[in-house]
Amino acid sequence: MPERPKTAPATLHDVAREAGVSLATASRSLNGSARKVNDDYRQRVHEAAARLDYSPNLSAQAVAKGASSTVALLVSNIADPYFSSIAAGVIRGAEAQGLIVTMAVTERSSARELQLVRTLRGQRPRVIILTGSRFEGPRSQDALVAELTAFTNTGGRVVLISQRELPFSAVVVDNYAGARRLANVLFEQGYRRFAAIGGDRGLMTSGDRLSGFADGLAEHGIAIHPDHITRGEFTRDGGFAAAQELLTKGIEAVQLVFAVSDVMAVGAMSALREGGRSAPDSIAVAGFDDIPMARDVTPALTTVNIPLEEVGMRAVELALSSTATTSDSVVTVGTRVIVRASTPLVRAGD
């Protein structure tokens, strides 16, 4: 069967000729120019573009305008419900502004994050949003700041989500205060003997949450024994392995295990169950983030709620606001404790 002849895609010149307008008018009608175009001309141009199946050259538009109509979002792990929920908020916020979102995964690698930012700069996005915990110490911070500064110097906007460790606008989650409140609530429920599962050393989100939880317990004269604090990757498997380590060390007297993220808490519950300490009958478990899964696991997980989709939407709003041009623009998002079945009230004598 003979192949159908291939035709060259329609150009902007073709659209202008078909609509009977100048090239400039066609360009302004299709490219969102701030300059006013007669409504009749604009309609003719759009109808001509539809007839010719014309697709605008977004790369050329980006060069001409100095920026594209995209928001570039960098996440640590899109499979993690924490990041996918934030991404949903970013997409919703971008769509409300007539923008589209491109996404890339850093895998919590500073080197990969830096390379992605360098690549994205060449695509001229309107906004770059970086999510995920920062690490303590340099870890390519200077080079990353230089790349992002070069991007903002050409009119781009940068917003961080999590900590404000870099000199750019940020949507900050109050991890420390949320974990501290959780510790107080659990004390009020009758818990006195704790273990904790943290993320990698140097990961600021993990450090803030562990510190807040420890300080909340300290208000009541309680401290977690060093042997009852283990660490793992910020994943379900990381939580599973960290809980196995706790079981190996011996936590017979521990009443509750706090994991610094819900996905780690879910992994921990599986490991504890395999080790003969099923939640909530034998041991209680609490997490942090309030990802959708937290309500659906058995038992439903006590956690600290972060309005994750709101975080994503507010990052877009901040990026496009006039205040985002300054490096001290910070939006702080509060948290609240959600008590569920994984931490039942402790009966007297338990």
* Residue ranges of domains in the chain: 12-56, 67-173+308-335, 175-305
Angle, in degrees to the nearest 10, between helices 110-123 and 141-153: 10
Q: Please determine, for residue 16, whether its predicted confidence score (pLDDT) is greater than 80.
A: yes
Under the phi-then-psi rule, with left for phi > 0, alpha for psi from -120 to 50, and beta for the rest, what region is 43? alpha
What is the mean predicted confidence (pLDDT) over 272-291?
A: 96
**Residues 308, 312, 313, 317, CA torsion sign:** positive
Mean pLDDT rounded to a whole number for the chain = 87
Length of the chain: 350
The top-scoring range by mean pLDDT among 237-241, 318-322, 326-330 is 237-241
Place of tokens 């808490």: 265
Give me the DSSP letters along 155-176: T-EEEEEE---SSSEEEEE-HH
Check: CB of residue 216 under 8 Å from CB of residue 183.
Answer: yes
Query: Got the DSSP string for 173-233?
Result: E-HHHHHHHHHHHHHHTT---EEEEE-STTBHHHHHHHHHHHHHHHTTT----GGGEEE--
Instruction: Say what percent of the chain tops pLDDT 90.
Output: 60
- pLDDT value of position 5: 47
Residue 326, sorted as left (phi over 0), alpha (psi -120 to 50) or beta, turns out to be beta
Higher pLDDT, 241 or 109: 241
Question: Which single residue is written with the structure tokens 């562990």?
Answer: 210
Looking at residue 64, its pLDDT comes to 47
DSSP E strand boundaries for 32-162: 70-75, 100-105, 127-130, 157-162
The pLDDT tens digits for 333-345 are: 999 999 999 999 9
Residue 31's pLDDT band (cuts 50, 70, 90):
low
CATH number of 12-56, picked from 3.40.50.970, 3.20.20.100, 1.10.260.40, 3.30.70.20? 1.10.260.40
Architecture of domain 67-173+308-335: 3-Layer(aba) Sandwich (3.40)
The pLDDT score that the predictor gives to residue 33 is 54
Q: 């994050």: which residue's tokens?
A: 113
Of 30-34, 113-117, 206-210, 279-283, the range with the lowest mean pLDDT is 30-34
pLDDT, tens only, 144-183: 889 999 999 888 999 999 777 788 999 999 999 999 999 9
175-305 has which CATH code? Answer: 3.40.50.2300
What average pLDDT does the segment 88-109 reach?
A: 92
Res 178: pLDDT: 97
Decide if pLDDT at 83 tops 60. Answer: yes
As a whole number of angstroms, the distance between CA 179 and CA 235 comes to 19
Residue 2 binned pLDDT confidence (cut-offs 50, 70, 90): very low
Two domains, one topology: 67-173+308-335 and 175-305: yes
**pLDDT, tens digit (0-9, with 9 covering 90-100), for 207-254:** 999 999 999 999 999 999 999 999 999 899 999 999 999 999 999 999
User: Which comes out higher in pLDDT, residue 191 or 55?
Assistant: 191
Nearby residues of 187 by Cβ (< 8 Å), 6 or more positions away: 216, 217, 220, 222
End-to-end CA distance of the chain: 80
In this predicted model, which residue has the larger pLDDT, 2 or 119? 119
Backbone angles phi, psi at 117, to 5 degrees: -65, -40
Measured distance CA(161)–CA(157) in Å, rounded: 13
